[in-house]
């Protein structure tokens, strides 16, 4: 047990080693996937290892996060922003946030993109925070980091949200603690993250789930452990229903003839030609059929959300 790295939430040694992934393989796959050369992000790592903690959290060691150039190149090569921002009025995470925001609440949305969440909160004072927001972002979006915003806004918000952000940071507990610091006593934190297991993590060699993109894989127990570690009282921890912007992943899962994970040899990434070919074919078929095949609103959930309250008195 002493040889296993600590869980990034609890600090306890990991429950088990899941698999190792050669950095050389990751760099090649990212280059072919349109992210360019990511060698500078892995200067000293020969292998990335995936572990499972006692909370059910899956996490990579070392947890190497992508930089602005990585995200710009990769997202641009797949027109990812257009996919992520499609059908914002039907996004289940936004609806869940809106249900828990009282009229007149002050809301800070971390990693907000162009600030689409604000359209679901007409009775609230909305502020988005994203240092990489596009030129067409809402006027209520600030291009600041969390560290910069903390210097002037500590303890001032009724609600802080971070949707599809926590899985991208190397130290999720410390980052979430910063978000709690932005809340007033009694305020509400809402965190949405990808779910494991789900249609997304069952696709072999699906790079969205690999460093330097996703560094942690979450479930309900892991989010409950995070709330406990931060001293928060959970209001709701639940899987998030399907949203139309996730259609590409669901289509890829449907077309994938191979399933990752499970069994005695649990693996998600490997240099197997059948896996590479399966990934390419499922991606191409998904992109082609998205235009005319309606989305399945009964698809399995791919995300999970924590809604928790900061104590009113500390």
Domains of the chain by residue range: 66-309
- Output the six-digit token pair for 29: 């796959």
pLDDT, tens digit only, all 314 positions of the chain: 458 999 999 999 999 999 999 999 999 999 999 999 999 999 887 999 999 999 999 999 999 999 989 988 988 887 766 666 666 778 899 999 999 999 999 999 999 988 899 999 999 999 999 988 777 777 889 999 999 999 999 999 999 999 999 999 999 999 999 999 999 999 999 999 999 999 999 999 999 999 999 999 999 999 999 999 999 999 999 999 888 878 888 889 999 999 999 777 899 999 999 999 999 999 999 988 877 776 666 778 899 999 999 999 86
pTM of the predicted model over 0.85: yes
Per-residue model confidence (pLDDT) at position 24: 95
Question: 168: helix, coil or strand?
Answer: helix
CA–CA dist 115, 228 (Å, integer) = 29
CA–CA dist 304, 223 (Å, integer) = 9
- Complete DSSP assignment for 207-256: GGGSTTT--EEB-HHHHHHHHHHTT-EEEEEEEEPP-GGGHHHHHHHHH-
Question: 45: helix, coil or strand?
Answer: coil
- Complete DSSP assignment for 87-144: SGGG-HHHHHHHHT--TT-EEEEET-TTTGGGGG-TTSEEEEE-TT--TT--TTEE--
DSSP strand pairing (47-52 vs 58-61): antiparallel
CA–CA dist 297, 288 (Å, integer) = 19
CA–CA dist 250, 170 (Å, integer) = 27
Per-residue model confidence (pLDDT) at position 268: 97
CA–CA dist 62, 145 (Å, integer) = 23
CATH number of the 66-309 domain:
3.40.50.150
Per-residue model confidence (pLDDT) at position 281: 97
């Amino acid at each position: 047990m002493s040889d296993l790295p600590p869980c990034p939430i609890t600090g306890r040694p990991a429950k088990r080693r899941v698999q190792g992934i050669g950095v050389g393989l990751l760099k090649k796959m990212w280059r072919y996937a349109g992210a360019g050369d990511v060698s500078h992000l892995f200067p000293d790592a020969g292998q990335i290892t995936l572990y499972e903690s006692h909370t059910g959290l899956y996490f990579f060691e070392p947890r190497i996060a992508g930089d602005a150039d990585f995200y710009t190149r990769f997202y641009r090569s797949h027109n990812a922003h257009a996919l992520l921002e499609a059908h914002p009025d039907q996004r289940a995470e936004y609806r869940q946030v809106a249900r828990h925001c009282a009229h007149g609440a002050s809301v800070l949305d971390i990693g907000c993109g162009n600030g689409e969440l604000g359209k679901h909160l007409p009775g609230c004072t909305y502020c988005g925070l994203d240092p990489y927001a596009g030129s067409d972002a809402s006027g209520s979006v600030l291009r600041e980091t969390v560290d910069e915003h903390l210097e002037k806004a500590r303890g001032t918000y009724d609600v802080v949200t971070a949707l599809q952000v926590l899985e991208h940071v190397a130290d999720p507990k410390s980052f979430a603690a910063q978000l709690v610091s932005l809340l007033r006593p009694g305020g509400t934190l809402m965190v949405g993250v990808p779910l494991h297991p789900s249609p997304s993590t069952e696709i072999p060699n699906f790079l969205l789930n690999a460093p330097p993109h996703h560094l942690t894989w979450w479930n309900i127990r892991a989010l409950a452990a995070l709330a406990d570690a931060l001293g928060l009282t959970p209001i709701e921890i639940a899987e998030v229903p399907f949203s139309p912007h996730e259609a590409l992943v669901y289509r890829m899962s449907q077309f994938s003839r191979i399933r990752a994970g499970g069994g005695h040899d649990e693996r998600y990434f490997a240099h197997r030609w059948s896996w590479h070919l399966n990934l390419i074919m499922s991606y191409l078929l998904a992109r082609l059929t998205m235009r005319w095949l309606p989305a399945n609103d009964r698809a399995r959930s791919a995300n999970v959300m924590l809604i928790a309250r900061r104590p009113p008195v500390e």
